[in-house]
Chains A and B, each alone.
Chain A
Amino acid sequence: MPTLTINGMTVDVPQGTSILNAAKEVGVEIPHYCYHPKLSIAGNCRMCLVEVEKFPKLQTACSTVVTDGMVVRTDTDKVRKAVTGVLELMLIHHPIDCPICDQAGECGLQNYYMKFGLHKSRYALEDKIHKKKVQEIGGQIVLDAERCILCSRCVRFLEEVTGTRELHFFDRADHSEIAIFPGKPLSNNYTGNLADICPVGALTSKDFRFKCRVWFLKVFDSICTGCSKGCNVDAHHKGDILYRLKPRWNDAVNQAWMCDFGRLTYKAMNEARLLTPFVREEGARKVAAWGSLLPDVAFRLKAAADKGGPDRVAVIASPQSSNEELYLLRGLATSLLGTKNLAFTHRVAGDGFADDFLIQADKNPNSRGAVLLGIPGGAAFDALVSKIAGGGIDALLVFGDALGTLSEEETATLLAKVPFVAQVGTNEGPVSKAATAVLPSASVAERGGTFTNHAGRVQRFRFGFPPRGKARNPLEILLSLGNRLGAGWTFSGEASVFRALAESEAPFAGMSYDSIGMFGQEIKC
């Protein structure tokens, strides 16, 4: 392990560590733009210049590997002047778009200018080189070539991560410009990452454009619900509106990336939400109160089981539910209602597209969890649907907004065969249009819990903000229903449910929220 002394502090680092990364270990921030831990080293922005003893010239910290006994300084006048000098040169053609640029507040140039610049421009305004602004280049990205600092992160990403190479440098010298070839826009499923890695406002999100100033946004940890990959995300919100999802670092799952489809899954949490409990009477919706609706649902389920036997009651689980919710739901179905009619489906309308990178064919976050907790899918679901279609079910509890790939009409026809259908769901859809009673559920942003991804990794998603409208945490709904059915549950939140789950379910044995931590934990096979 070579030893580095940096600004007087000593640190041992693994062989092959760059000065830049070694400095992080001791809290020394070396400014940089072109370096990105998941991309090749470019060394072209020249911001990370540092003094290295025995080298006559300043060296780039990103590309210089620590050798044993190396002595580095980043706090000298020479380094300071070099950094300010590079920054000045980067800014001479940069348009001062801050008032209209989405990047403001999370901009590399703004940040380092405040730290290392604070200089007045010495460059004549009429000499500024102008380049093409506001270009729709495909995918989720808007390109402003004038703002670009030519750090090459985007070109490297499209070369090394997606291999699609739609962006490149054109021309030479200070007329160099990043662009697509005319007529060949971005056409891969990961374009959104370009806005993340661009340090400035050259590549920005079309979806997020002009919607909110970033300093108004709060962030919490979540998991993308777009497929069973379970990409870790940062969810950004203001109040109870979500504005965007950005990938959160997890080398075991999604490294630093997420797909374009997943990025837009936040919209479903904002739009077309079920926000008020209601019942359907004579074809019309009638608002109900939680206080009366919950006992009513419990009663109707119990009554159906008592009258015709447990086989006349059914529960359809959702692979959008958390491990904790599925655990309680299974208990409710099999122990409290005593029924074997419990199933889920992972099928959703849409193409089931998958690739060899992040995108999984299963478009649900917790199918694996459902299976591990003993809730059958596939054929069992089909059998249950047949039973329902044959008029064999008197009371049905459905989690989720759709029944597999059944259309609105097919769902209405099917559910018409069931005298009482209670739904716990988040969004308007085929089920809410046909259910007898709708219990609006908190979205994944409005509650906490865990999902098990396709590879068996259990990951936590965190509570972001209280449920909108009158929606409730489905865990609370389940506890309430369960206890009315005699469960005697004393759980106080998802953590306590998980403790119970870990104790009784073999794949989760020994797990806790602590052991899951920030990066998740794999189940025992």
Chain B
Amino acid sequence: MEKVLTTHFANERYRRLDTYRRYGGYEALKKAFAMTPEEIIDEVKKANLRGRGGAGFPAGVKWGFLPKDLSRPRVLVINADEGEPGTFKDRLIMSRGPHLLLEGIAISCFALRAHACWIYIRGEFAREAGIVDEAIAEAYAAGFLGKNILESGFDLDVTVHRGAGAYICGEETSLINSLEGKRGWPRLKPPFPASVGAFGLPTIVNNVETIADIPWIVTHGGETFAGLGVEKNGGTRLIGVSGAVNRPGVYELSAGVNLKEIIYHHAGGIRDGKALKAVIPGGSSTPVLRPDEIDVSYDIESMGKIGTMAGSGGVIVIPEGTCMVRSLSVLMNFYAHESCGQCTPCREGTGWLKKIVGRIEAGKGRQGDVELILDLCDNMMGRTICPLADAAVMPAQSFIWKFREEFDRHIGEQKCPYGNRF
């Protein structure tokens, strides 16, 4: 299968400019400069490139939201916050192929007529930030960034901006606030970043992988990229498989690969000879699937049809013998810890969910606790400034809907049948 991104990732030297160029690096940028911005955007639209951060918004459409009038400078911001549990692909791109990202940035900024780009890298990725910084320095020195790139007359400045530990900063308006030096509070929308974004300027925020796909799209054309996937979800995806599988890791596969195939073929099936109990398909915020639900195409539309999401491409595999209440408790702790605290339903609701589920797992659940959780979920879902509350609700609801008897048993027996262990 044709690979867009990872062809040379096994080569540790691919992150250096000389090796990157040896394998055709920055040729796409040269080709892009011979195109018009409109032509490039058109290729991206034809590519059916859906955002790779988790929301899956069509990149070409998002790019089209920038105002036609060029009086205010526009900027590109790269979302390298990679905080969704189960997701670890952008780290790979930045550590193994940073120039792919930079070339993608250069082409995208040319298409967007942006002359400034910030790469927001989560604070914990100190090593990756260092690697990207080195690549940026190499690119500036070689004239692929900075003034008059490749004699094109196009100027571009790229800066790495490190986060400092907040999952919420993966939400684009929270990221923008964090970039501006503020607490990572998401903003009310409208206005959308394309009209009022970073520093008040028209801004496009895109995920690392989305932008890293751009050079290939320019080289081979949008339609070819689209053909690697399925109808409304073009190209390949970097899919991360983690949990109880024999071969956890990142796999570059068609956007339309089968989920069962991802788990059993590519990731080698369930480890220790166990049976499968559950799959969280697209990062922890996506509704959980039972084993009988995973024979499905992993593309965005198909996953939506079965009531879950492909999300950020993070497949979390849960084996038999795992306590689903304990698993949910881990997730509820996560969302309660990460809520930014700005709006009432999420701030108070995530904390309450954590306490109720924790109580059930500790064998102190009360009759009516499950109904209380579901009612609380209703009061949180769709009521907040950003979808973090929804992200907490979807696991809570889906775990209860699909594994109800485990919750009832914890409450009825006043203990965890799995001994409060994983």
The short answer to whether A and B are in direct contact, CB under 8 Å, is yes
Q: Are B385 and A43 in contact (CB under 8 A)?
A: yes
Known A92-B352, A173-B338; contact A122-B378, beta-carbon cutoff 8 A: no
How many angstroms from the CA of A47 to the CA of B338 in the assembled complex?
Answer: 22
Per-residue CB contact flags for chain A residues 92-103 toward chain B (1 = under 8 Å, else 0) read: 110000000000
How many angstroms from the CA of A174 to the CA of B344 in the assembled complex?
Answer: 9
Most chain A CB atoms below 10 A, which of B337, B384, B385: B385
Known A173-B336, A173-B337; contact A86-B372, beta-carbon cutoff 8 A: no
Q: Are A44 and B372 in contact (CB under 8 A)?
A: no
Asked whether any CB of chain A lies closer than 8 Å to the CB of B350, the reply is yes
Q: Are B343 and A172 in contact (CB under 8 A)?
A: no
Question: Using Cβ atoms and an 8 Å threshold, which residues of chain A touch B166?
Answer: 172
Question: Using Cβ atoms and an 8 Å threshold, which residues of chain A touch B350?
Answer: 173-174
Asked whether any CB of chain A lies closer than 8 Å to the CB of B254, the reply is no
Asked whether any CB of chain B lies closer than 8 Å to the CB of A123, the reply is yes
Name A69-89 residues within 8 Å CB distance of B: 81-82, 85-86, 88-89
Rounded to whole Å, the gap between the CB of B65 and the closest CB of chain A is: 19
Q: Are B341 and A169 in contact (CB under 8 A)?
A: yes
Question: Using Cβ atoms and an 8 Å threshold, which residues of chain A touch B348?
Answer: 89-90, 92-93, 174
Main DSSP-derived SS at the B contact region:
helix
Known A49-B383, A63-B188, A85-B379; contact A173-B351, beta-carbon cutoff 8 A: yes
Q: Are A173 and B339 in contact (CB under 8 A)?
A: yes
Name B323-360 residues within 8 Å CB distance of A: 336-345, 347-352, 355
Interface size on A, residues (CB 8 A): 35
Q: Are A46 and B384 in contact (CB under 8 A)?
A: yes
Rounded to whole Å, the gap between the CB of A228 and the closest CB of chain B is: 38
Q: Are B383 and A90 in contact (CB under 8 A)?
A: no
Taking a contact as CB atoms closer than 8 A, the residue among B188, B341, B382, B383 that contacts A174 in the complex is: B341
> Across the two chains, which residue of chain A brings its CB closest to B382?
A57
Question: Using Cβ atoms and an 8 Å threshold, which residues of chain B touch A388?
Answer: none
Question: Using Cβ atoms and an 8 Å threshold, which residues of chain B touch A58?
Answer: 382-383
Q: Are B341 and A172 in contact (CB under 8 A)?
A: yes
> Across the two chains, which residue of chain B brings its CB closest to A47?
B344
Q: Are A46 and B344 in contact (CB under 8 A)?
A: yes
Q: Are A89 and B382 in contact (CB under 8 A)?
A: no
Question: Using Cβ atoms and an 8 Å threshold, which residues of chain A touch B274?
Answer: none
Question: Using Cβ atoms and an 8 Å threshold, which residues of chain B touch A281?
Answer: none
Rounded to whole Å, the gap between the CB of A17 and the closest CB of chain B is: 16
Rounded to whole Å, the gap between the CB of A468 and the closest CB of chain B is: 47
Asked whether any CB of chain A lies closer than 8 Å to the CB of B13, the reply is no
Asked whether any CB of chain A lies closer than 8 Å to the CB of B31, the reply is no
Q: Are B339 and A44 in contact (CB under 8 A)?
A: no
Rounded to whole Å, the gap between the CB of A72 and the closest CB of chain B is: 17
Taking a contact as CB atoms closer than 8 A, the residue among A49, A63, A127, A174 that contacts B339 in the complex is: A174
Asked whether any CB of chain A lies closer than 8 Å to the CB of B183, the reply is yes
Known A169-B183, A174-B350; contact A85-B339, beta-carbon cutoff 8 A: no
Question: Using Cβ atoms and an 8 Å threshold, which residues of chain A touch B341?
Answer: 150, 169, 171-176
Per-residue CB contact flags for chain B residues 380-393 toward chain A (1 = under 8 Å, else 0) read: 00111100000000
Q: Are B355 and A89 in contact (CB under 8 A)?
A: no
Q: Are B355 and A127 in contact (CB under 8 A)?
A: yes
Taking a contact as CB atoms closer than 8 A, the residue among B183, B338, B343, B352 that contacts A46 in the complex is: B343
> Across the two chains, which residue of chain A brings its CB closest to B358?
A127
How many angstroms from the CA of A371 to the CA of B351 in the assembled complex?
Answer: 63
Known A169-B341, A174-B350; contact A85-B382, beta-carbon cutoff 8 A: no
How many angstroms from the CA of A90 to the CA of B339 in the assembled complex?
Answer: 15
> Across the two chains, which residue of chain B brings its CB closest to A126?
B355
Question: Using Cβ atoms and an 8 Å threshold, which residues of chain A touch B347?
Answer: 89, 150, 173-174, 176
Q: Are B383 and A86 in contact (CB under 8 A)?
A: yes
Question: Using Cβ atoms and an 8 Å threshold, which residues of chain B touch A129?
Answer: 351
How many angstroms from the CA of A58 to the CA of B342 in the assembled complex?
Answer: 18
Asked whether any CB of chain B lies closer than 8 Å to the CB of A45, the reply is yes
Q: Are B188 and A43 in contact (CB under 8 A)?
A: yes
Q: Are B382 and A45 in contact (CB under 8 A)?
A: no
How many angstroms from the CA of A47 to the CA of B343 in the assembled complex?
Answer: 10
Taking a contact as CB atoms closer than 8 A, the residue among B337, B343, B351, B372 that contacts A45 in the complex is: B343
Question: Using Cβ atoms and an 8 Å threshold, which residues of chain A touch B337?
Answer: 173
How many angstroms from the CA of A122 to the CA of B338 in the assembled complex?
Answer: 24
Known A46-B345, A92-B352, A176-B347; contact A82-B188, beta-carbon cutoff 8 A: no
> Across the two chains, which residue of chain B brings its CB closest to A43?
B188
Q: Are A46 and B383 in contact (CB under 8 A)?
A: yes
Question: Using Cβ atoms and an 8 Å threshold, which residues of chain A touch B355?
Answer: 124, 127
Most chain A CB atoms below 10 A, which of B339, B342, B385: B342
How many angstroms from the CA of A93 to the CA of B338 in the assembled complex?
Answer: 19
Q: Are A44 and B343 in contact (CB under 8 A)?
A: yes
Question: Using Cβ atoms and an 8 Å threshold, which residues of chain A touch B352?
Answer: 89, 92, 123
How many angstroms from the CA of A255 to the CA of B58 in the assembled complex?
Answer: 46
Name B186-235 residues within 8 Å CB distance of A: 188
Asked whether any CB of chain B lies closer than 8 Å to the CB of A383, the reply is no
Rounded to whole Å, the gap between the CB of A123 and the closest CB of chain B is: 7
Rounded to whole Å, the gap between the CB of A122 and the closest CB of chain B is: 6
> Across the two chains, which residue of chain B brings its CB closest to A57?
B382
Taking a contact as CB atoms closer than 8 A, the residue among A44, A123, A124, A172 that contacts B344 in the complex is: A44
Name A128-159 residues within 8 Å CB distance of B: 129, 149-150
Question: Using Cβ atoms and an 8 Å threshold, which residues of chain B touch A46?
Answer: 343-345, 383-384
> Across the two chains, which residue of chain B brings its CB closest to A90?
B344
How many angstroms from the CA of A149 to the CA of B349 in the assembled complex?
Answer: 14
Name B139-195 residues within 8 Å CB distance of A: 166, 183, 188
Question: Using Cβ atoms and an 8 Å threshold, which residues of chain B touch A81?
Answer: 378-379
How many angstroms from the CA of A277 to the CA of B222 in the assembled complex?
Answer: 96
Name B85-131 residues within 8 Å CB distance of A: none
Q: Are B379 and A172 in contact (CB under 8 A)?
A: no
Rounded to whole Å, the gap between the CB of B384 and the closest CB of chain A is: 7
> Across the two chains, which residue of chain A brings its CB closest to B335?
A173
Question: Using Cβ atoms and an 8 Å threshold, which residues of chain B touch A63?
Answer: 188
Per-residue CB contact flags for chain A residues 17-51 toward chain B (1 = under 8 Å, else 0) read: 00000000000000000000000010111110100
How many angstroms from the CA of A176 to the CA of B342 in the assembled complex?
Answer: 9
Question: Using Cβ atoms and an 8 Å threshold, which residues of chain B touch A90?
Answer: 344, 348
Rounded to whole Å, the gap between the CB of B177 and the closest CB of chain A is: 13
Rounded to whole Å, the gap between the CB of A24 and the closest CB of chain B is: 21
How many angstroms from the CA of A77 to the CA of B345 in the assembled complex?
Answer: 18
Question: Using Cβ atoms and an 8 Å threshold, which residues of chain A touch B383?
Answer: 46, 49, 57-58, 82, 85-86
Rounded to whole Å, the gap between the CB of A475 and the closest CB of chain B is: 53
> Across the two chains, which residue of chain B brings its CB closest to A93?
B348
Most chain A CB atoms below 10 A, which of B336, B340, B351: B351
How many angstroms from the CA of A49 to the CA of B341 in the assembled complex?
Answer: 18
> Across the two chains, which residue of chain B brings its CB closest to A45?
B344
> Across the two chains, which residue of chain A brings its CB closest to B381?
A57
Question: Using Cβ atoms and an 8 Å threshold, which residues of chain B touch A47?
Answer: 344
Question: Using Cβ atoms and an 8 Å threshold, which residues of chain B touch A49?
Answer: 383
Q: Are B336 and A86 in contact (CB under 8 A)?
A: no
How many angstroms from the CA of A175 to the CA of B183 in the assembled complex?
Answer: 14
How many angstroms from the CA of A351 to the CA of B173 in the assembled complex?
Answer: 47
> Across the two chains, which residue of chain A brings its CB closest to B369?
A122
How many angstroms from the CA of A49 to the CA of B385 in the assembled complex?
Answer: 11
Question: Using Cβ atoms and an 8 Å threshold, which residues of chain B touch A60?
Answer: 188
> Across the two chains, which residue of chain B brings its CB closest to A33?
B344
Q: Which 4 A-B pairs have the closest CB atoms?
A: A85-B379, A176-B341, A174-B351, A89-B348
**Apart from the given pairs A173-B347, A174-B341, 16 other A-B contacts in the complex at a CB distance below 8 Å:** A43-B188, A44-B385, A45-B343, A47-B344, A56-B382, A57-B383, A81-B378, A81-B379, A86-B379, A89-B348, A89-B352, A127-B355, A169-B183, A169-B341, A172-B338, A174-B347
Please list the residues of chain A having a beta carbon within 8 angstroms of any beta carbon in chain B: 41, 43-47, 49, 56-58, 60, 63, 81-82, 85-86, 88-90, 92-93, 122-124, 127, 129, 149-150, 169, 171-176
The 8 sampled A-B contact pairs (Cβ below 8 Å) are: A56-B382, A63-B188, A85-B345, A85-B378, A124-B355, A173-B336, A173-B339, A174-B336
